[in-house]
C-alpha cells in the first residue's frame, strides 16, 4: 500500500487558510477605515484534522484518488455575521472577488437541514504558492449568524459524542432550540437599522478621536509645546461633552491648524537649507 504523506498533503491547505483569513480580516479593516458598516463580524479558519478526513472518507466511501476532489472542506473558513441579511452581502462580496472562484453554493438557510442546522456554504477554488509551485485547492466557506453559529457548535459537539446516534429527546430539544434561533435572528433583523446606525456612529467617533490624537502628537514634535497642551486640554473638554458635532468641528479646525504649522515648519527648513 502506498505511504500517505499527510504533512505534505496538508501544507497547501494550511497556507490557503492563513491567506484567506488574512484577506477577510483586511476586508473588515477597509470597511472600518472608510467608516462603513462591515457585514463580517468574525473570521476564523482551520484545516480539517486527519481523523476527521478519514472518518468522512469512510462514511462517504471516498477513495484515496478522490480525496482532494470530494473532501471539499479540508480547508475551512467560517465567517460570522450579526444579521441574517448580512449573509447574502458577504456571499456577493466573495462572488465578485477575482482571487477565488466559486464552484458551488449550498443554501442550508432557505433549505434548513432536518436537524435544524442553518448556514450558507460556498465551495471555492483558491490558488496558493508552495515550494513546488502554484496549487489550486478547494476550500469551504461557511457563512452564518452569531445565533446560528452558537447552535451549530453545540450540535456538532453532540453529534461527535453520539457518533450520529443522538438520543431522540436530545434531537428534539435541539430542534426546538433551532426554532428559537430562527425567531432570534428574525427579531434582531427588526432592529438592524438602529443597531447599524449606532455602530456606525461609534466607529465614526473612534476614527475621529484617532485622527485628532495623531494630529496632536505630530504637532508636539514641530510646534509650541504650550500651545499643543492647550489644544489637547480643549480636545478632552469636548470629548467629555459626548457631542459628536463639536468633535467633528474640532477635528476640522485642528486639521487647518496642523496644516499651518506644517507649512511653517517646511518654510523654515527651506530657509535654513538656502543659507548653507
What does the pLDDT look like over 137-186, one tens digit per residue?
999 999 999 999 999 999 988 887 887 788 988 889 999 999 999 999 99
Catalytic residue among 8, 140, 240, 253, which? Answer: 140
pLDDT tens string 8-35? 899 999 999 999 999 999 999 999 888 8
Instruction: Using a cut of 0.85, tell me whether the model's pTM lies above it.
Output: no
Same domain, 78 and 110: yes
**Residue 34 belongs to domain with CATH number:** 3.30.460.10
Please provide the average confidence, as pLDDT, over all residues in the chain: 89
Strand, helix or coil for residue 81: strand
Mean pLDDT of 187-191: 88
For residue 274, pLDDT over 70 is answered with: no
Same domain, 52 and 149: yes
Whether 1 is covered by a domain: the verdict is no
Q: What is the pLDDT of residue 34?
A: 85
Is residue 36 within 8 Å of residue 27, measured between CB atoms? no
Same domain, 163 and 205: no
Domain boundary among 128, 158, 190: 190
Q: Could you tell me the residue range of the domain that residue 19 belongs to? A: 6-190
- Number of domains making up the chain: 2
Q: What is the pLDDT of residue 271?
A: 61
Nearest 5 degrees, angle CA 63-CA 59-CA 175?
A: 150
Same domain, 238 and 110: no
- Beta-carbon contacts of 37 under 8 Å, excluding residues fewer than 6 positions away, are 31, 196, 199, 200, 203
Q: What is the pLDDT of residue 12?
A: 95
Same domain, 136 and 260: no
Domain boundary among 190, 216, 242: 190
The single residue listed with the C-alpha cell 456571499 is 91
Same domain, 240 and 258: yes
Mean pLDDT of 51-69: 92
Q: What is the pLDDT of residue 275?
A: 44
Same domain, 163 and 137: yes
Active site residue 140: yes
- Beta-carbon contacts of 218 under 8 Å, excluding residues fewer than 6 positions away, are 258
**Which contacts (CB < 8 Å, 24+ apart) does range 119-125 have?**
119/143, 119/144, 119/148, 119/152, 120/87, 120/88, 120/91, 120/144, 122/91, 122/94, 123/72, 124/94, 124/100, 125/100, 125/101
Residue 164 backbone zone (phi > 0: left; psi -120 to 50: alpha; other: beta): left
Whether 267 is covered by a domain: the verdict is yes
Amino acid at each position: 500500500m502506498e505511504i500517505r504523506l499527510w504533512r505534505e498533503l496538508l501544507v497547501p491547505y494550511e497556507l490557503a487558510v492563513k491567506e484567506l483569513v488574512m484577506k477577510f480580516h483586511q476586508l473588515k479593516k477597509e470597511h472600518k477605515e472608510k467608516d462603513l458598516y462591515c457585514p463580517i463580524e468574525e473570521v476564523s479558519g482551520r484545516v480539517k484534522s486527519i481523523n476527521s478526513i478519514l472518518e468522512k472518507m469512510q462514511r462517504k466511501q471516498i477513495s484515496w484518488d478522490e480525496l482532494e476532489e470530494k473532501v471539499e472542506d479540508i480547508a475551512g473558513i467560517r465567517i460570522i455575521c450579526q444579521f441574517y441579511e448580512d449573509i447574502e452581502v458577504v456571499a456577493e462580496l466573495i462572488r465578485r472577488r477575482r482571487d477565488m472562484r466559486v464552484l458551488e453554493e449550498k443554501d442550508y438557510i432557505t433549505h434548513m437541514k432536518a436537524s435544524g442546522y442553518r448556514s450558507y456554504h460556498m465551495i471555492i477554488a483558491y490558488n496558493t504558492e508552495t515550494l513546488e509551485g502554484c496549487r489550486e485547492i478547494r476550500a469551504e466557506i461557511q457563512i452564518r449568524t452569531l445565533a446560528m453559529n452558537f447552535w451549530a457548535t453545540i450540535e456538532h459537539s453532540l453529534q461527535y459524542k453520539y457518533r450520529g446516534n443522538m438520543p431522540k429527546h436530545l434531537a428534539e430539544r435541539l430542534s426546538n432550540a433551532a426554532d428559537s434561533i430562527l425567531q432570534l435572528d428574525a427579531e434582531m433583523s427588526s432592529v438592524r437599522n438602529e443597531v447599524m446606525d449606532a455602530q456606525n456612529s461609534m466607529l465614526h467617533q473612534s476614527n475621529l478621536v484617532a485622527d485628532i490624537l495623531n494630529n496632536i502628537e505630530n504637532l508636539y514634535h514641530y510646534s509650541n509645546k504650550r500651545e499643543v497642551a492647550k489644544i489637547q486640554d480643549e480636545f478632552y473638554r469636548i470629548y467629555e461633552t459626548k457631542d459628536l458635532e463639536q468633535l467633528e468641528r474640532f477635528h476640522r479646525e485642528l486639521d487647518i491648524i496642523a496644516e499651518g504649522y506644517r507649512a511653517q515648519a517646511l518654510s523654515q527648513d527651506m530657509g535654513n537649507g538656502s543659507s548653507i
